[in-house]
Amino acid sequence: MKTILQANNVNKIFGAKGNQYTALQSISLSINEGEFVGIMGPSGAGKSTLLNIFSTIDTPTSGKITIDGENIVAMNEEKLSDFRRNKLGFIFQDYNLLDTLTVKENIVLPLALSKVPAAEIEKRVQEIADTFGIRQILDKYPYHISGGQKQRAAASRAIVTHPSLILADEPTGALDSKSAASLLESLSKLNQANQSTILMVTHDAYAASYCQRVIFIKDGQLFQELPQEGLTRKEFFGRILEVLASLGGGHHDAV
Ligand SMILES: Nc1ncnc2c1ncn2[C@@H]1O[C@H](COP(=O)(O)OP(=O)(O)OP(=O)(O)O)[C@@H](O)[C@H]1O
Ligand SMILES: [Mg+2]
């Protein structure tokens, strides 16, 4: 099994001397190719900080991180921007679609800089539009589609480059339950069909129940890992709720 992400002893301290805050402490974890992994934990636990570090948007104070065999901590800014563009896909809560472009134009935007042939681009767009159920809105502009459709368009844009790793921070956070389920089904389908590797931060136990493994963090440290293995989604959902309850003190939307 190929390891896509390997983190060893990652620490993150914010602030200057005398006013420091340890957001992450000795985080070590690894994600295999084709895994769909969730990260959960109370508000302020350090989930977004960790995801931002994996996204190369932020840097760790210490620790080692390799993604698809490359040491991302040592990379200079120029290499990092290539790396982000070629290897990573991002899905965030605010969709970041460009209003002056159609859905289709938004989706192919990341390929504009690449040398992918036009026929290949068209093929990818059609495949992705089917996976995410947005074929009928490809020619619409973002202000004419719903929040759920926007999020699926943003997810499509994140995966059109066939990234090694898809990073999602609360992708269902702004969606109603029907749109959330639809996005999760699509991500699940993508994960199974393409062996895409997905790391998703979520507050929502229902969203996390779509994952194959959930990593819980508390106060910047690993708290527990829960594999879905052998459980139905409903049983897994129940186990996730149990761990959230044992985490205590948090503000979970789903509990
Ligand atoms: N740039 C920063 N400077 C100082 N402290 C920060 C910074 N970013 C985050 N923190 C602190 O680090 C801790 C972890 O924040 P983070 O955003 O990772 O939490 P989270 O688990 O994503 O929470 P939520 O579920 O509310 O999104 C918080 O206490 C936060 O205040
Ligand atoms: Mg967060």
Q: What span, in angstroms and rounded, lies between the C-alpha atoms of 38 and 35? A: 10
Is 202 a pocket residue for ligand 1 (Cβ < 6 Å)? no
Which domains are present in the chain? 3-247 (3.40.50.300)
Write out the H or E segment, with its range, that includes residue 56: none
Q: Collect all residues with Cβ–Cβ distance below 8 Å to 232 and sequence separation of at least 6.
A: none
Q: Which of 22, 47, 170 to mutate to test the pocket of ligand 1 (most atoms within 8 A of CB)?
A: 47
The strand pairing partners of 217, in sequence order, are: 222
- Provide the CA 136 distance to its chain's centre, in angstroms: 25
**pLDDT at residue 253, as a whole number:** 47
The values of phi and psi at residue 50, to 5°, are -65, -45
The values of phi and psi at residue 57, to 5°, are -75, -30
Looking at the chain, list the stretches that DSSP marks H as alpha helix, in order from N- to C-terminal side: 47-54, 77-87, 103-112, 118-132, 147-159, 177-194, 205-208, 233-247
**pLDDT at residue 255, as a whole number:** 38
**pLDDT at residue 249, as a whole number:** 59
Tokens of 43: 């508000």
- Taking the CA of 168 as reference, the closest ligand is 2
Q: Which of 14, 22, 53 to mutate to test the pocket of ligand 1 (most atoms within 8 A of CB)?
A: 14
- Going 145 to 148 to 151 to 155, the CA torsion angle's sign is negative
Residue 76 neighbours by CB distance under 10 Å: 7
- In this structure, the residue with its CA closest to atom 1 of ligand 1 is 14
The strand pairing partners of 37, in sequence order, are: 199, 213
Give me the numbers of helices (H) and strands (E) for the chain, helices first please: 8, 10
Q: What span, in angstroms and rounded, lies between the C-alpha atoms of 231 and 239? A: 9
DSSP state of 99: T
Distance 65 CA to ligand 1 centre (A): 20
Distance 15 CA to ligand 1 centre (A): 12
Distance 121 CA to ligand 2 centre (A): 33
SS3 label, residue 221: strand
**Ligand 1 nearest-atom number relative to CA 201:** 22
- pLDDT-flagged residues of the chain (< 50): 252-255
**Ligand 1 nearest-atom number relative to CA 12:** 12
Distance 89 CA to ligand 1 centre (A): 22
Q: Are 218 and 187 in contact (CB under 8 A)?
A: no
| Direct distance between the N- and C-terminal alpha carbons of the chain, in angstroms, rounded to an integer | 35
pLDDT, tens digit (0-9, with 9 covering 90-100), for 221-232: 999 999 999 999
pLDDT, tens digit (0-9, with 9 covering 90-100), for 4-23: 999 999 999 999 888 999 99
Residue that has been written with the tokens 């760790």 in this structure: 60
**pLDDT at residue 190, as a whole number:** 87
